[in-house]
A and B are shown apart, each in its own frame.
Chain A
Amino acid sequence: MSQFQKKVELVRSEVIARDVVRLTLNAPEIAAAALPGQFVMIQIAPGKDPLLRRPFSIHQTSSEGTLQILFKVVGRGTELLAHAKVGEQLSLIGPLGKGFVLGEPGNACLVGGGMGIAPMLFLASRFQQLAKQGSAPKVILGARNRDELAPLIGDFKNLGLEVLAATDDGSLGHHGLVTDVLKKINLSPDFTVYSCGPRPMMAAIHHLCLKENIRCQVSVETVMACGMGACLGCAVPLKAGGYAHACSDGPVFEAGELLWSL
């Protein structure tokens, strides 16, 4: 294991869409050690309130040592983080958790919904590094509307990838769910689906993959206090009974190992 606790500089803050923010941090040690699907714990404020760090997927890393996160403002912690100033020092712990298990790039299908798109960019770029000529992964991305989705699709296109889009309001791509798109493209059983997004979306993808006999890995979210296996607060119910811990056993799991009927 090599995990780090570092004070890192915020070098860029971009508003991607309404309430969606991307931060670029200068975090060379963490960026160099990071794998797709892993996450960081960020301390929101130096004081005691909010007390706990917040977990964020690693969205992208660069060879220059920067690391990006992409998040939506949903509460006090993310609201404060959205207002962090360039030049400010933020305390990061990472890289944490077990990421995706990478198979053949040509047999990979990445499905991201909403902020679940965040880890997919890192995964896509890693696949592109591994890919041989003509063996690019398939990418399906979904969000509420064009405003939210279009800026994110651009990053995947910059990697040379084709993106199939779906929006809730039909303003971009398919009018409906990413699962509709996944169904339509008829993957063969030698594919692996890599998915992150809202729980109902991942449950639907899991069931589809189960039916089609396709391997499926999902990245799950839970509340977390420590992010490193110490508090046991991040319980994820297992199909076989008992619980796994999202931060140390996951956040990426084989979909078939989890209990979905909750």
Chain B
Amino acid sequence: MEPVKVKNDEVDLRVTIGSLELQNPVMTASGTFGYAREFEDFVNLHRLGAVVVKGISLAPRVGNPPPRIVETACGMLNAIGLENVGVDRFISEKMPYLSALGIPVFVNILGDSVEEYSRIAERLAQVEGVAAIEVNISCPNVKKGGVAFGADPKMAAAVTAAVKQSCQVPVIVKLSPNVTDVTLMAKAVQEAGADAVSLINTLIGMAIDLRSRRPRLANIIGGLSGPAIKPVALRMVYQVAQVVTIPIIGIGGITTAEDAMEFMLAGASAVQVGTANFVNPRASEDVVDGIAAYVREQQLGSVRDLIGALRVG
């Protein structure tokens, strides 16, 4: 018998994150896709499940001195220092373009204190087009703030609860991998009201130039990303999937649809493409195409059949 031919757009790729239904599970990772406009010549932005924009703080931040990035084996270290235009300029300069795209916009936020997080969330809550807030509690690049929230379940829960109270949109808490037990953090933020968790952020690392005997980053240490971190990220997504009931967004070294679907098997409902955007600006759309092709070939009822479908034992 002839197999039934299903067209690309007839494949069911929909997934849900909290109260949001996404047209497909593919998003871009914060800090790797600018404010989306940078990619308009390369990607059909309308085809993405969501865009996650660069982390926003209350006041603008200038970031770290250079060098801020260094390539490592199958990956890169960054110490950007959370450079961003601040929430006010983000709303006036970046949001009009983003909200006109007609796809969900997730705004990644960061702060130095619980109050700062909730104040940014309050500002964003009034803005049309903000579909969800992703809370970066884990940035390893800034000397104060980030690290502490992401490494302590009580602090992580406090930030989560404060952001939840400040806005109506779904709140995604982005977990740090730089902890002994990521499941403790996941459970803590779920209890505090998080609608979803995303993981992982970058792994703290370092690179040294033997010739000059100097660190390769001005900040000395930085966050490792790219294909090199994928096995760690997969493991953490799998572990978190065993202990939470809220949706998980898998992040870490995803460059192809195969990578993305491995994260879904491990328990992720959706994924974010990060460093791969630098190498292949079209990576996020390629992942959408690849997932659609797989779902069609395997004749799955929907992409959701993959979520947590890992065969163990």
Contact = CB atoms under 8 A, between A and B. Distances in A.
Nearest to B66: A235
Contacts of B282: 5
A226 interface: yes
A259 B227 CA distance: 35
Interface stretch (B13-21, B36-44, B89-97, B171-179): B36-44
B62 A233 contact: no
B278 A5 contact: no
Contacts of B153: none
Interface string A221-246: 01111101111111111000111000
Interface stretch (B70-78, B193-201, B291-299): B70-78
Interface stretch (B3-11, B26-34, B264-272, B305-313): B26-34
Contact of B69 (A1, A3, A233, A241): A233
B76 A52 contact: yes
Contacts of B281: 5, 93, 226, 228
Most chain B beta-carbon contacts within 10 A, residue among A48, A223, A232? A232
B279 A235 contact: no
B31 A235 contact: no
Contact of A229 (B34, B80, B275): B34
A87 interface: no
Contact of B278 (A2, A222, A230, A235): A230
A243 B62 CA distance: 7
A248 B83 CA distance: 15
Interface residues of A, number: 32
A43 B282 CA distance: 14
B66 A3 contact: no
B207 to A, nearest CB: 12
A230 B32 contact: yes
A140 B133 CA distance: 54
B41 A4 contact: yes
B66 A225 contact: no
Interface in B28-71: 31-34, 38-42, 54, 62-71
A53 B279 CA distance: 6
A2 B41 CA distance: 7
A3 to B, nearest CB: 4
Nearest to B83: A232
B63 A232 contact: yes
Interface of B: 31-34, 38-42, 54, 62-71, 73-76, 78, 80, 83, 226-227, 255, 275, 277-282
Interface of A: 1-5, 43, 48-53, 93, 222-226, 228-237, 241-243, 248
